[in-house]
C-alpha cells in the first residue's frame, strides 16, 4: 500500500444521530452493523459451544450417561448448523462490514439499508432454529429438534424428519437470504466504491478474499435454497425429488447439497486467508510475498471449489471414472492453497518479527490450518477415504481447519482490529491467557480424534466401542478446557467495549499499512466522507 | 465520480447479481433433470429403463453372464417378496423369464411399486426388459398372493469385463400416494 492523503472526519456534528435501541435496530452504518454481526456471532459461538459440550460430556465415558441418543443426534445437528451458519459466517461478514469500506476508502457499504436487513434477519432465523432445541429439551412431549446432521441428507430429513424440520427449512431460507444480500453488498461496494487510485491490484488481500467469497456466496447459497425447497415439497407437496418410491433418488440430494456444501467451506475459510495476509506482513514488517500470486491462488481455489463436491460422496456407489475425477481435482486444490502457505512463510523470511497477540493467532492459524489441510489431502484419496469416511478422522480434519483455522483467524482479526473498533488496546495479559489456553486445549481436543478415527470410531454416534475410551476422555477434557478459555475472550471484549484499557493510537501496530490505520481509534461514526487519494 | 453516476452503477451491478442468484436457484432445480439425463446416458445410478424394450437382438453364445436377484421390502412395507430363482446364467441376447412372488400378509389392500437397481452401474443400460412388474404399480388385497413375471435380456454391447450382474428390487408401499392422486383426479 502506498502513501495516502487521509481526511479525518469531524464526529461532533451528530447531535441528531440516533441513540439507544433505535441506533442498533435501524442502523445503516457499516461499523455498527459490523459490531452487531460480531456480537451476534460470538453469542452463537457460545450457544454452539454449549451443544458441543453436551456432546463431549456424553462421549467422555463409554456408555450412555448424560443424554439419550435421540437428543445426542439433535445436539450434533444443531451444533453444526449454529457454528457454520451462526458463528463463522456472521463473524466473517461482520469483519467485512467493519473493514472493507475502511480499507478501500469508501464512506459506507453500497447498500446500507439492505445491510441492516441482512443482519436483522439472523436473530429471527436462529430464534426459530434454537427454539426447536429448547422445545426438545423442555417442551411438552419433547418434540425432536432437527436430528439428521447439519448435512440433512434425504430421505432421513424428508421422509423421517421430525416436525421441526419445516422450521429448520424456514430458518435456512432466512439465513440464505441474509448471506446472499450481504454478498451482493460486498461485491457492489468493492467493484464500484474504491477510492480513486485504488486499482484492484492495490486492494488489501482481505478485500480480495472477501470479494471472491462474495461471488461464491451468490453462486451457491441459492443452490442450498433450492435443496431445502425440494425437501419441503417432498415432505408436504407430493414431489419425489429424493424419494425412490416415486422415481426420485436419495443420491441426487447429496449431489445438490454438496454442490453448495463444498464451496460453502471455502466461503468459511477464504476470509481467514485474507485476515492472515493482513496480519503477517504487519508483524514481519515486510510486504506480503507474492501479492499477485495470492490473488490468483485465491481465485483458483474458488473456481476449483465448484468441481470437487463429490469427494464428500466417495462411498455412495460412484463409478471409478467419477471418483478418479473428483480425487484428482481435490488433490489439485492443495496446490494453490500450498502457494498461499508458502507465501506467508516467505513473507516472514528475513522479516523483522515480533509476536504480539494478532501475530500469535495468525501463526497458529498457518501451522494448524496446514495440519488440517494435510488430513484433507489424506481424505482426498478415494481408496483410503473408504476407510476414513464417516469416522472421527473426518471430524478431526474439519475441526482443525474450522476451529484452529477459521475461528483462530477471527480471534486474530479481533485482537488486530479491536484497537480500531474500540479505541483501547485489548488487555494483554488476558489475551495471552486466552491464546495459550486455546492453543493447547484445541490440540488436546482435536488431535486424538485423528487416531480414534483411523482406528474406526464412527462419527455422529452417541457411544463407542471400549477401545476408544481413553482418547475420548482426553478429548472431552480438551473440550471443556477450550470452552472455558473462550470465557477469557468474553472478558477481553467486554473490557474493550467499556473502553477499559490502554488508549490506542490511530496506528497501534508499527508495521501496519492500509487506509484503516489512517483514521482515528476508535474509528469515527463516519469516515472517508471525502475519498482519500491513493497513490 | 458523480453521486447519481455511482448510484446508477451500483444499481446495475445489484441487478446483475440478483439475476445471478435467481439463475443459480433455477440451476439447483435444473440439476434434477440434468442428473436424470446424465444417469440415463451413462447408466451410472444403476437405474434400468422404465419402459419395455423391443427384444430384437443377436445372441452371443460365447459369453455366459450370471444375473443374481435380490429383493427387499422397504421399511414399513409388510409384503413377502421373493424371486423364484436366486440367479440365472444367460447369454447376451438370450430372452429369459424370471418370476417373483409377492404376498400381502396385512389385513388391508396395499399397492406396491418395485424400484430396480443394477450393480455394476455400467451394466444398467444393457439390462433390457420386455416385461416387468416394475413398470406399474401392483395391487394386492389383504392376504393376497401373486406371481409376477419379469422378462429380460442382456444386450451384446455389455462391457466385456462384466460377468456378474446383480438386479435388486425394493418394494415400496405407494398406497397413500396412489389414493391421493386418484382423489385429485376424481375431484376434477
A317 contacts chain B (CB < 8 A) = yes
* Candidates A171, A305, A330, A337; catalytic one: A337
Q: What is the pLDDT of residue B184?
A: 78
CA distance, residue B58 to nearest chain A CA (Å):
28
Instruction: Please confirm, yes or no, whether A11 is among the known catalytic residues.
Output: no
CA distance, residue A319 to nearest chain B CA (Å):
7
> Cβ of A226 and B120 within 8 Å?
no
Closest of B120, B148, B172 to residue A247, by C-alpha: B172
Residue range A59-79: mean pLDDT, rounded? 96
What is the Cα B72 distance to its own chain's centre? 15
CB contacts < 8 A, A to B, total: 101
- Give dist(CA A369, CA A360) in Å, integer: 14
- Give dist(CA A64, CA B171) in Å, integer: 36
Closest of A191, A35, A195 to residue A525, by C-alpha: A35
* Candidates A35, A277, A323, A391; catalytic one: A277
Q: What is the pLDDT of residue B2?
A: 67
- To the question of domain A31-233+257-515 being in CATH 2.60.40.10, the answer is no
A154 contacts chain B (CB < 8 A) = no
Burial of A474 (0-12, 13-18, 19+ CB in 10 A): middle
> Cβ of B25 and A225 within 8 Å?
yes
pLDDT in tens, A377-418: 999 999 999 999 999 999 999 999 999 999 999 999 999 999
Phi, psi of A331 (to 5 degrees): -65, -35
> Cβ of A319 and B32 within 8 Å?
no
Mean pLDDT of chain A: 95
pLDDT in tens, A453-496: 999 999 999 999 999 999 999 999 999 999 999 999 999 999 99
Number of neighbouring beta carbons within 10 Å of residue A244: 18
CB nearest B10 (choices: A192, A251, A259): A192
Phi, psi of A114 (to 5 degrees): -65, -30
pLDDT in tens, A176-227: 999 999 999 999 999 999 999 999 999 999 999 999 999 999 999 999 999 9
A106 contacts chain B (CB < 8 A) = no
B179 contacts chain A (CB < 8 A) = no
pTM of the full structure: 0.92
Those residues with Cβ within 8 angstroms of residue A161's Cβ, 6 or more apart along the chain or in another chain = A146, A148, A152, A235
Q: Considering only CB atoms, which chain A residues are within 8 Å of B46?
A: 317
CB nearest A255 (choices: B18, B24, B31): B31
* Candidates A136, A179, A323, A404; catalytic one: A179
Number of neighbouring beta carbons within 10 Å of residue A168: 24
- Give dist(CA A531, CA A195) in Å, integer: 6
Q: Considering only CB atoms, which chain A residues are within 8 Å of B177?
A: 238, 245-246
Residue of A nearest to B117 (CA): A244
Number of neighbouring beta carbons within 10 Å of residue A420: 24
- 3-state SS track over A93-127: HHHHHHHHHHHHCCCCCCCHHHHHHHHHHHHHHHH
C-alpha cell at A510: 508499527
Three-state DSSP at A209 gives helix
Q: Evaluate if residue A130 carries a pLDDT over 80.
A: yes
Position of cell 469385463? Answer: B161
B112 contacts chain A (CB < 8 A) = no
Residue B106 is given by DSSP the state S
Position of cell 429439551? Answer: A137
Instruction: Please confirm, yes or no, whether A173 is among the known catalytic residues.
Output: no
- Give dist(CA B83, CA A146) in Å, integer: 39
Q: Considering only CB atoms, which chain B residues are within 8 Å of A226?
A: 25-29, 31
Q: What is the pLDDT of residue B45?
A: 67
Residue of A nearest to B29 (CA): A226
- Give dist(CA B155, CA B43) in Å, integer: 14
Interface test with B, best of A160, A185, A226, A529 (most B CBs within 10 A): A226
Q: Evaluate if residue A5 carries a pLDDT over 60.
A: no
Q: Considering only CB atoms, which chain B residues are within 8 Å of A188?
A: 10, 13-14, 17
> Cβ of A218 and B120 within 8 Å?
no
Q: What is the pLDDT of residue B76?
A: 86
**Which residues, given as ranges, of chain B have pLDDT below 70?**
1-2, 43-46, 188
> Cβ of B29 and A251 within 8 Å?
no
Number of neighbouring beta carbons within 10 Å of residue A206: 25
Q: What is the pLDDT of residue A15?
A: 54
CB nearest B20 (choices: A218, A224, A227): A218
Spell out the domain ranges in chain A. 31-233+257-515
Q: Is the ipTM of this complex over 0.95?
A: no
The H helix count followed by the E strand count for chain A is: 16, 2
Residue A19: band (very low, low, confident or very high) from pLDDT cuts 50, 70, 90: confident
pLDDT in tens, B44-99: 666 777 777 777 778 888 899 999 999 999 988 999 999 999 999 999 999 999 99
Residue of A nearest to B170 (CA): A245
Angle at B63 between CA B58 and CA B65, to 5 degrees: 105
Closest of A36, A212, A25, A188 to residue A106, by C-alpha: A188
Q: Considering only CB atoms, which chain B residues are within 8 Å of A180?
A: 21
Residue of A nearest to B118 (CA): A317
Residue A67: band (very low, low, confident or very high) from pLDDT cuts 50, 70, 90: very high
Residue range A509-518: mean pLDDT, rounded? 95
Judge contact between B43 and B123, C-beta under 8 A: yes
- Give dist(CA A315, CA A106) in Å, integer: 49
Residue of B nearest to A256 (CA): B28
Those residues with Cβ within 8 angstroms of residue A466's Cβ, 6 or more apart along the chain or in another chain = A62
CA distance, residue A229 to nearest chain B CA (Å):
9
B92-119 b/e with 16+ CB inside 10 Å = b?
bbbeeebebebebebeeebbbbbbbbbb
* Candidates A120, A208, A210, A266; catalytic one: A266
- Note the maximum CA span of chain B: 82
Those residues with Cβ within 8 angstroms of residue A157's Cβ, 6 or more apart along the chain or in another chain = A146, A148, A165, A231
> Cβ of B35 and A322 within 8 Å?
no
CB nearest A226 (choices: B28, B122, B177): B28
A251 contacts chain B (CB < 8 A) = yes
pLDDT in tens, A77-128: 999 999 999 999 999 999 999 999 999 999 999 999 999 999 999 999 999 9
Instruction: Please confirm, yes or no, whether A277 is among the known catalytic residues.
Output: yes
Q: What is the pLDDT of residue A14?
A: 53
> Cβ of A319 and B25 within 8 Å?
no
Amino acid at each position: 500500500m502506498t502513501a495516502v492523503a487521509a481526511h479525518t472526519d469531524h464526529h461532533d456534528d451528530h447531535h441528531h444521530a440516533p441513540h439507544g435501541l433505535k441506533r442498533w435496530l435501524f442502523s445503516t452504518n457499516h461499523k455498527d452493523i459490523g459490531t452487531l454481526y460480531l456480537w451476534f456471532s460470538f453469542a452463537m459461538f457460545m450457544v454452539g459451544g454449549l451443544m458441543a459440550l453436551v456432546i463431549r460430556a456424553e462421549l467422555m465415558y463409554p456408555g450412555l450417561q448424560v443424554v439419550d441418543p435421540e437428543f445426542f443426534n439433535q445436539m450434533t445437528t444443531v451444533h453444526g448448523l449454529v457454528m457454520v451458519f451462526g458463528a463463522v459466517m456472521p463473524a466473517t461478514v461482520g469483519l467485512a462490514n467493519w473493514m472493507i469500506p475502511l480499507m478501500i476508502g469508501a464512506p459506507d457499504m453500497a447498500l446500507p439499508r439492505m445491510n441492516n436487513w441482512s443482519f436483522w434477519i439472523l436473530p429471527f432465523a436462529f430464534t426459530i432454529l434454537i427454539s426447536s432445541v429448547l422445545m426438545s429439551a423442555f417442551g411438552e412431549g419433547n418434540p425432536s429438534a432437527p436430528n439428521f446432521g447439519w448435512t440433512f441428507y434425504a430421505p432421513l430429513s424428508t421422509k423421517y424428519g421430525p416436525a421441526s424440520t419445516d422450521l429448520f427449512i424456514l430458518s435456512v431460507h432466512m439465513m440464505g437470504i441474509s448471506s446472499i444480500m450481504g454478498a451482493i453488498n460486498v461485491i457492489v461496494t468493492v467493484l464500484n466504491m474504491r477510492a480513486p487510485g485504488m486499482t484492484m491490484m492495490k486492494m488489501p488481500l482481505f478485500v480480495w478474499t472477501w470479494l471472491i467469497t462474495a461471488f461464491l456466496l451468490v453462486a451457491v447459497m441459492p443452490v442450498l435454497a433450492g435443496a431445502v425447497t425440494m425437501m419441503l415439497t417432498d415432505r408436504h407437496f407430493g414431489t419425489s425429488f429424493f424419494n425412490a418410491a416415486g422415481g426420485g433418488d436419495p443420491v441426487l440430494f447429496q449431489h445438490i447439497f454438496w454442490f453448495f456444501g463444498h464451496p460453502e467451506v471455502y466461503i468459511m475459510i477464504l476470509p481467514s486467508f485474507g485476515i492472515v495476509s493482513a496480519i503477517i506482513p504487519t508483524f514481519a514488517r515486510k510486504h506480503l510475498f507474492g501479492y499477485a500470486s495470492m490473488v490468483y491462488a485465491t481465485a483458483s481455489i474458488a473456481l476449483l471449489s465448484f468441481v470437487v463436491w463429490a469427494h464428500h460422496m466417495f462411498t455412495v456407489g460412484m463409478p471409478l471414472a467419477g471418483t478418479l475425477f473428483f480425487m484428482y481435482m481435490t488433490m489439485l486444490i492443495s496446490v494453490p492453497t500450498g502457494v498461499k502457505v508458502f507465501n506467508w512463510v516467505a513473507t516472514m523470511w528475513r522479516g523483522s518479527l515480533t509476536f504480539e497477540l494478532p501475530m500469535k493467532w495468525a501463526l497458529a492459524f498457518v501451522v494448524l490450518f496446514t495440519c488440517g489441510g494435510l488430513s484433507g489431502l489424506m481424505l482426498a484419496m478415494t481408496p483410503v477415504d473408504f476407510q476414513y469416511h464417516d469416522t472421527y478422522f473426518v471430524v478431526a480434519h474439519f475441526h482443525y481447519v474450522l476451529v484452529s483455522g477459521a475461528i483462530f483467524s477471527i480471534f486474530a482479526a479481533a485482537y488486530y482490529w479491536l484497537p480500531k473498533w474500540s479505541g483501547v488496546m485489548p488487555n494483554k495479559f488476558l489475551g495471552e491467557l486466552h491464546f495459550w489456553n486455546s492453543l493447547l486445549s484445541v490440540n488436546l481436543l482435536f488431535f486424538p480424534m485423528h487416531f480414534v478415527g483411523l482406528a474406526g470410531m464412527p462419527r455422529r454416534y452417541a457411544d463407542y466401542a471400549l477401545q476408544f475410551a481413553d482418547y475420548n476422555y482426553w478429548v472431552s477434557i480438551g473440550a471443556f478446557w477450550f470452552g472455558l478459555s473462550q470465557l477469557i475472550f468474553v472478558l477481553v471484549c467486554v473490557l474493550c467495549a467499556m473502553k477499559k484499557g490502554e488508549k490506542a493510537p490511530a496506528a497501534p501496530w508499527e508495521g501496519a499499512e492500509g487506509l484503516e490505520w489512517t483514521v482515528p481509534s476508535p474509528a469515527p461514526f463516519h469516515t472517508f466522507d471525502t475519498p482519500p487519494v491513493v497513490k | 465520480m458523480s453521486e447519481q453516476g455511482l448510484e446508477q452503477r451500483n444499481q446495475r451491478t445489484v441487478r446483475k447479481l440478483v439475476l445471478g442468484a435467481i439463475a443459480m436457484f433455477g440451476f439447483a432445480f435444473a440439476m434434477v433433470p440434468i442428473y436424470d439425463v446424465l444417469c440415463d446416458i451413462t447408466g451410472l445410478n444403476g437405474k434400468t429403463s422404465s419402459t419395455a424394450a423391443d427384444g430384437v437382438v443377436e445372441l452371443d453364445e460365447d459369453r455366459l453372464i450370471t444375473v443374481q436377484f435380490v429383493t427387499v421390502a422397504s421399511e414399513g412395507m409388510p409384503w413377502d417378496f421373493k424371486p423364484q430363482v436366486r440367479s440365472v446364467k444367460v447369454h447376451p441376447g438370450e430372452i429369459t423369464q424370471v418370476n417373483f412372488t409377492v404376498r400381502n400378509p396385512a389385513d388391508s389392500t396395499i399397492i406396491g411399486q418395485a424400484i430396480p437397481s443394477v450393480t455394476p452401474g455400467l451394466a444398467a443400460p444393457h439390462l433390457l426388459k420386455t416385461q416387468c412388474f416394475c413398470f406399474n404399480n401392483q395391487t394386492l388385497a389383504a392376504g393376497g398372493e401373486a406371481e409376477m413375471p419379469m422378462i429380460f435380456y442382456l444386450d451384446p454391447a455389455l462391457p466385456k469385463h462384466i460377468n456378474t450382474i446383480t438386479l435388486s428390487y425394493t418394494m415400496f408401499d405407494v398406497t397413500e400416494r396412489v389414493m391421493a392422486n386418484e382423489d385429485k383426479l376424481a375431484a376434477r
